[in-house]
Amino acid sequence: MIPGVGAFGDGMENAGPFRERLVDAAADGTPILGICLGMQMLLTSSEEADHAGQGEVRGLDLVPGRNVRFRGDRKVPHMGWNELSVERDHPLVTGVEVDDGASEARRDDGAASGAQGTEDAAAGGPVDGGSVDGGYAYFVHSYYAEPEEPNAVVATTDYGVEFPAIVADESGNVMGTQFHPEKSGETGLRLLRNFVDICASR
């Protein structure tokens, strides 16, 4: 697991001694989960290092792409609860509803609806206990990922622009969440339980 709060350049500097080990682990099929800055570090590079005057700072390049800053008139950083929309199936979002036209149900515990999640979020956070699709997660970030491959996007969120909330590499064992699952109520707990299950299955 690669947690992180802070700047991309500092994060990569701190990860420097472990870069080779992380890349080898990913190649060996070891499950890796990046959280917030940790997810951004999975990508190839970030505008943040450029904006900080650090020049080109190389990410882990486990999910090819670049992190870019929010533009437009929305307040930055993006901070608070926001809704998740699952774009494709992945073990990290097991038990969710994927909107594939038929709204195929993949829940396994009778989760509450997205509308209920909205009410719960307004009351201070989601307590739906199941579905990640339409669930709410807690974000704190100024930059977001732009993966090179569209299929790297597992779930999205909208903040003036639709951006990846969950990404995964082609093999599926390297994954990241832009939000903080540990601060995201039942939605976050579901994802963390799923990650534990992924680790146990390897």
Q: Which residues does the annotation mark as catalytic?
A: 36, 180, 182
Strands (E), the chain: 32-35, 45-46, 65-69, 78-83, 85-86, 97-98, 104-105, 136-141, 143-147, 153-158, 162-168, 174-177
In terms of Cα–Cα distance, which of 71, 66, 96, 48 is closest to 164?
66
User: What is the residue type of 186?
Assistant: E
Q: Which two tokens stand for residue 143?
A: 């930059």
Beta bridge partners of 166: 155, 177
Residue found by looking up tokens 């505008």 in the block: 47
Strands 174-177 and 32-35: what pairing? parallel
Q: At which residue do the structure tokens 């601060």 appear?
A: 183
CA dist 75 and 78 (Å) reads 7
Tokens 């882990």 belong to 60
Question: How would you list the strands of the sheet with 174-177, edge to edge?
Answer: 32-35, 174-177, 162-168, 153-158, 85-86
